Amino acid sequence: MDRPSLEPLELLDQIESEFELPTYAVNWPIGSGDTFRGVYHRPRREVHLFDKEESKATKAKKGQDEDIATRGVDIIPIDDPRLASLIDADLYAQLLEDIEFLDELGSELDLDAVHAGELTPVFFGSGANNFGVQLFLDTFLGYSVRPRGRQTSAGRIEAVDENFTGFVFKLQANMDPRHRDKVAFVRVVSGRFERGMKVTNARTKKAVALSRPSQLFGQEKTVMDEGFAGDIIGKAPYTLNPTS
């Protein structure tokens, strides 16, 4: 939102028309482009203020490639009398009008609909300046589905069961262009995963050592030492044949 863009309502309308998916704005931008001053977080009724000059100074000091998630963000309640002078009187008046409009819509965030793929939460911020990203991640974690059990041929396994179980849900080849690699993605269903542990393939009854496990985030890959229900493990190398 720190660059010129469509109006927030137009953006929401575009999502709904293109994907045929209703939206719910979890936060709301205050201005845009050169007038962008932050976001209003609706669940906690607080404003997170954006300082473009501070963001530039932080980037210059730490470098473009470094994480600036630790940069301080000023948070102020929506009813704080200082807010009008902090974000400009016109933007403050527009924000109050937008809040009234959003509240009058009357809809609540239905997490059951979100989990069913029938509604999407929407967040505003500035990815380039790492503003609003942490707020999005923290809120997303709160809205996401908790680890769930899985029905198997031997009965249902619950996430709270002590024994380790995992479900191979995807096989991917050639993820690294430098190697002919193969990776099996395993979602931990129950128990505790430990690097190097031996498990039994439920179909072939063969023992498999879970060596060289990795955790992938974008293009980054790190060694994974342990995991719990809901975690995803990348296991490589993996032989793609009917007995694997």
Q: Which domains does the chain have, with CATH numbers?
A: 8-143 (3.40.50.300), 150-235 (3.40.50.300)
126 C-beta neighbours (distance < 10 Å), count:
19
pLDDT for 73 equals 66
Q: For 167, what's the count of Cα atoms within 13 Å in the CB-facing half-sphere?
A: 18
Q: Which two tokens stand for residue 233?
A: 């493990």
Which amino acid makes up residue 32? S
Q: What does the pLDDT read at residue 66?
A: 43
State residue 53's pLDDT score: 65
User: Nearest 5°: phi and psi at 18?
Assistant: -75, -40
Of 12, 11, 18, 10, give the one whose Cα is nearest residue 107. Answer: 12
Mean pLDDT by 10 residues, the chain (244 residues): 88 94 94 92 94 57 45 81 90 94 84 93 91 91 88 90 92 70 87 93 88 78 89 70 36
List, in sequence order, every residue forming a beta bridge with 202; answer none if it has no partner: none
- Does pTM surpass 0.85? no
- CA–CA distances in Å: residue 148 to residues 161, 167, 236: 11, 12, 25
Q: Which residue has the tokens 């080849």?
A: 173
